[in-house]
Amino acid sequence: MIGDLAAGELLPARVLLCGGGAQLPQISEVLEGEDWWRRLPFSRQPGVSALAPPDVQGVTDATDLLTTRQDVTPMALVHQAIIIDAITSPPQRAMRRAVKSLRL
């Protein structure tokens, strides 16, 4: 799947893991090996690290309840929603509210 995402381009030198699966030791063991990345368009072996909630920029957890790697994915989705909302124009927001009220 990573090869398909590359679409012939070089992949970045870092692989960031998130979600509950990032805590599985088998994932880290495989990604620390040398064989997997040689079959993909990397210029060198990528650095692999797992993200934690403080790594998500632009989202702050005032409750201090988001503490594990599995919390990174929903936090990142919130971050994307904030970005999309920020670039949405007022007429687009009004149209979205109108359509939502119709319950189509």
pTM of the model: 0.68
CA distances from 40 to 13, 30, 67, 74, 99 (A): 12, 14, 33, 28, 44
Dump pLDDT digits (tens) for 51-96: 999 999 888 889 999 999 999 999 999 999 888 888 888 888 888 8
